[in-house]
Structure 1
Amino acid sequence: MSEEWNQKKLSLQPEEGRYDSGIADSVQSLGDDGVSRLHSLLEEGDGKHHGVRSQVPVTVEDKLPEIYELERIDSTYGSSSLIESISASCVSQSTPTERPALQEVRKLDPQQLDALIYVSEDGDTLLHLAIIHSMPDIALYFTSLVTKDILDIQNDLYQTALHLAVYLDQRRVVEALVFKGANGELQDRKGDTALHVACDNQHLECARIVLQGLRGQLNMHLQNWNGLSCIHVATLKRDRALISLLLESGADINDQEGTSGKTPLHLAVEIADCSLVTELLSYRPCVNATMYNGCTPLHLAVGRKDAALARLLCQAGADTLIRNREGDTPHDLAEGNNQLLALLPFDDLKISGQPVVTSA
């Protein structure tokens, strides 16, 4: 892990006598205005917002039974209440230096404690809501109080706090969650991890924080429900910086997506991006990798009558005589197209796609 990342992590650790990563002295220190903000947050909490939850009008009267119901049950914890989970986690997992956070929880008055253990009808905790409504101070303080299993609670859309913080590009919150050990492999209802979300929204710095902070803990082959790993998502977004970051972090340039077996090179050819194909070829992928139907990237380029892409692939050593499941070679697919046929001379004397040159 880089020295820069270690320094960032150290900056998130509580100072002596402080338990909020330097953001707030305590929930109590929020005062009347802070409590008012918390209640305002809870009143606005349900529904989608910023593309994550939409606004649904909610009255204070509608919310009161939920805010003051101490035994709210969260699906992640079965029959245990959230407050029991918080207390048990802090007692069993905290180190001596972390236990003051539990003392902070016990010092909260009923109104503040109710806010802390609140779970909305959409499954959102206070942490989810603080992130959705761009209240990083509250999000960071909540993160400093609880253990990782609380941070990993998924709402009704199976989003964790890390999913939402990455989606909304809240880098300080992402750093705090990653430092606290949030699970980076939990998948939302689309099968996306937080890293998938970073790639899909092209949030390079959030992706960097997740990859550096959870180095060695992420399965870089993990696919969403569309069969795409993060390297496929970054390729489809044509984001060269993300592709480079992912490959440096252990992603496989020859990773096959789950629906048809396309590699990133296949995808780049499929979206007809010559510059992206050139970029991917610089990482020395298997230029003759086959999809489940036996097609190579060259099959796709020729099938699309794209001479420029075919030329790039041939220059990189693509085999013109590999047959797909239907028995067709790229040369067969080029029949009738003189421009393509000029790139794909028929030669039976080839080994691994390269012509055999005999001396006189």
Structure 2
Amino acid sequence: MDLYRVGNSNQLDYNMDSKHGKVLPSNEDRIDSGLDSLKDDEYNVIVNEMERLNVANTEANNEYCSEPWQQEKTEDGDTLLHLAIIHEAKDYATRMIEHSRNHPFLNTQNHQRQTPLHLAVIMDQPQIVERLLKAGCDPRLVDECGNTALHIACKKGSLHCFSVLTQGCTQQLPSILTSHNYSGHNCLHLVSIHGFLSLVERLIELGADLNAQEQCNGRTPLHLAVDLQNLELVQLLVTKGANVNSLTYGGYTPYHLTYGRQNMAIRQQLYELTDHELRELPESEAEESDEESMSEDDMLYDDFLWMGQK
């Protein structure tokens, strides 16, 4: 079974050289919810335990009264519900969810701070996502990378889970849409980075800020589209009203990021839309003279000889 992998939380899922506008390589984060470390016989023990506890006949909980099976956890912090979702045991998962309505058990986070809702999106189980939302889970909780379940759906391009989440958490949706993960990206940034045009359009319709700046260096979705040389995305964002004069923290417009790039269609379109006074590149250290940019230490050794030549 393939799990969606999310790696080191200290690594950005989108890195960019702010001076030269180059996309830098990045590693996928890794999510390990105990599946790899769980042996077959251990899993069978858990299944047998679930049968013994007779989840199907457990009476509904009142005032957060927990049943024994709700206290079971693996060494990775996974509950039986986490494991049922990971192993696609949907019948078990459904029974546990129904017998835990409005119970804190539904929001239990494993050692990677993943809730059952996170794992249901990762495993692309929209029916379980819907049941969890209706049962009272909190869609605002974030994992160790700062991602809500909707962030993960946007990153994966999971249309079904995206639809269920946006329709099932309308009250919490405004705060989720403005939430940045620990890489500085909100949901609109993520779908822009991964080029999911239909989700970009849908998020804008749902009220996502078209000109929101990611927290790393202030790029808007339009800046990201230029960085990735995605002409269709540039055209969509411009059509939807993206601010072509928005500046990054370093003072760069989207047009500035077209310098040195091959897609002339993007450059021409943004040149015509960008204010005249914002077309020139801002001054940078690269434009300084050699003498001005040379450090004092360099000047001390400007008479250094190599093989008889200065």
Shared topology, TM-score over 0.5?
yes
State the 1:313 CA deviation.
1.2
Shift of 1:278: 0.8
Query: Residues 23-172 of structure 1 correspond to what in structure 2 (within 5 A)?
Result: 51=5, 52-53=32-33, 54-56=35-37, 58=39, 90-92=61-63, 114-146=68-100, 147-172=102-127
2:183 equivalent in structure 1: 226
- Which residue identity does 2:265 align to in structure 1? A
Contact 1:287 1:318 (8 Å CA) reproduced: yes
**Computing the radius of gyration over CA atoms, which structure comes out larger, 1 or 2?**
1
* Residue aligning to 1:18: none
- Contact 1:231/1:243 (8 A) holds in 2: yes
Mapped partners of 1:185, 1:62: distance in 2? 30
- Any residues of structure 2 matched to 1:290-309 within 5 Å, and which? 290-304=247-261, 306-309=263-266
Of 271, 280, 283, the match for 1:327 = 283
Structure 1 runs, 4 residues or longer, greater than 6 Å off: 61-65
Structure-1 separation of matches of 2:188 and 2:245: 19
Offset from partner CA, 1:229-274 (integer Å, 9 cap, x none): 0000000110011111211212111111000000000000000111
- Residue deviations 1:114-146 (CA, integer Å, cap 9, x gap): 444311111111110000000111111111111
- Aligned length, in residue pairs: 245
Is 1:180 the counterpart of 2:135? The answer is yes
Shift of residue 50 of structure 1?
6.1
Rounded Cα–Cα distance in structure 2 between residues aligned with 1:153 and 1:273: 39
User: How far apart, in 2, do the equivalents of 1:136 and 1:287 lie?
Assistant: 47
Deviation at 1:92, TM superposition (A): 2.7
CA, structure 1 residues 262+114, in 2 after alignment: closer, same or farther (shift >3 Å)?
same
Change (3 A) 1:57 1:215: closer
Q: Which amino acid aligns with 1:56?
A: S
Whether the 8 Å contact between 1:294 and 1:324 is mirrored in structure 2 is: no
Letter in 2 for 1:275: E
Cα contact 1:118–1:125 (8 A) shared by 2: yes
1:216 deviates by 2.6
CA deviation map 1:280-335 (0-9, x unaligned): 111111111111111100111135364321111134x212322789437xxx9xxx
SS at match of 1:92: coil
Separation of aligned partners in 2, 1:240 and 1:50: 21
Q: Secondary structure at the match of 1:297?
A: coil
Task: Report matched runs for 1:253-292 at 5 Å.
Answer: 253-292=210-249
Q: Percent identity?
A: 35
Shift of 1:277: 0.6
- TM-score, normalized by length of structure 2? 0.71
Q: Which residue of 2 aligns with 1:206?
A: 161
Q: Partners in 2 of 1:200 and 1:254 — Cα distance?
A: 19
Cα distance in structure 1, aligned partners of 2:279 and 2:126: 48
Letter in 2 for 1:174: V
Q: Distance in 2 between matches of 1:149 and 1:57?
A: 25
Cα separation, 2, equivalents of 1:232 and 1:238: 10
Deviation of the 1:276 alpha carbon: 1.4
Q: Distance in 1 between matches of 2:208 and 2:229?
A: 23
TM-score (norm 1): 0.62
Counterparts of 1:303 and 1:276 in 2: how far apart (Å)? 19
Partner AA of 1:200 in structure 2: K
Structure 1 gaps of 5+ residues are 1-47, 69-85, 94-101, 106-112, 333-360
Secondary structure at the counterpart of residue 259 of structure 2 = helix
Q: Cα–Cα, structure 1 residues 314 and 64, in superposed 2: closer, same or farther, change >3 Å? A: closer
Whole-angstrom distance in 2 between the partners of 1:280 and 1:62: 48
Per the TM alignment, residue 149 of structure 1 is displaced from its structure 2 partner at its CA by 2.0
